[in-house]
A and B are shown apart, each in its own frame.
Chain A
Amino acid sequence: QQQVKQSPQSLIVQKGGISIINCAYENTAFDYFPWYQQFPGKGPALLIAIRPDVSEKKEGRFTISFNKSAKQFSLHIMDSQPGDSATYFCAASSKAAGNKLTFGGGTRVLVKP
């Protein structure tokens, strides 16, 4: 019940295109859903996060869409740039889960110029 499933595993998009990454969870107690961006040799960096009382959150070119009934959430990267090439992780947590973040398996995004 702690699992977070992420897809696709990898994604190639042209510069200016839209990257879409999807995650699904099972534990209905999860109440915090962050996305992290990781570049090679670096630790993951918090990109954007959402709570289940909102259906969408936008920060710059990054948007999270959240569907509570389907237990799914997704990250959209608009106007993708070569600098966005990185691995993206979705995650979920709850106080009941002891504060730990449960991560999806990651999506490697490559933006071609």
Chain B
Amino acid sequence: EAGVTQSPTHLIKTRGQQATLRCSPISGHTSVYWYQQALGLGLQFLLWYDEGEERNRGNFPPRFSGRQFPNYSSELNVNALELEDSALYLCASSPTGRHNYGYTFGSGTRLTVV
């Protein structure tokens, strides 16, 4: 069974630009979660998508947004990039709405803003 796949692996952007990160969940999983792992700040919840809808959002500014496609893959967009957005962005998936199932994480996209 293929795991959660994320692309690209690495991304370098200039401050003020936009970044688009992509995630494909495990087959059969309909929930996709996005987390930011910045150095020294642990894993911070960004967004939860399920069945194509945004279900929950973490404490991040509106320039962090995303969507989920009919095939349950997901995209995270970060607009007006700031230096402090440099981090590892992790996507995870789980079966529909199961908070007590346990996520499966991808290996992440390392975003560097210069």
Contacts and interface: CB of A to CB of B under 8 A. Distances in A.
B104 interface: yes
A62 to B, nearest CB: 14
Contacts of A105: 42
A89 B99 contact: no
A36 B102 CA distance: 10
B105 A100 contact: no
Interface in B77-104: 90, 92, 97-100, 102-104
| Band of interface residues on A | 20 to 34
A12 interface: no
A32 B98 CA distance: 11
Interface in A3-62: 31-32, 34, 36, 41-46, 49, 51
B58 interface: yes
B100 A32 contact: yes
B43 A100 contact: no
B16 to A, nearest CB: 28
Nearest to A97: B99
B31 interface: yes
B72 interface: no
Interface of B: 4, 31, 33, 42-43, 45, 48, 50, 55-56, 58, 90, 92, 97-100, 102-108
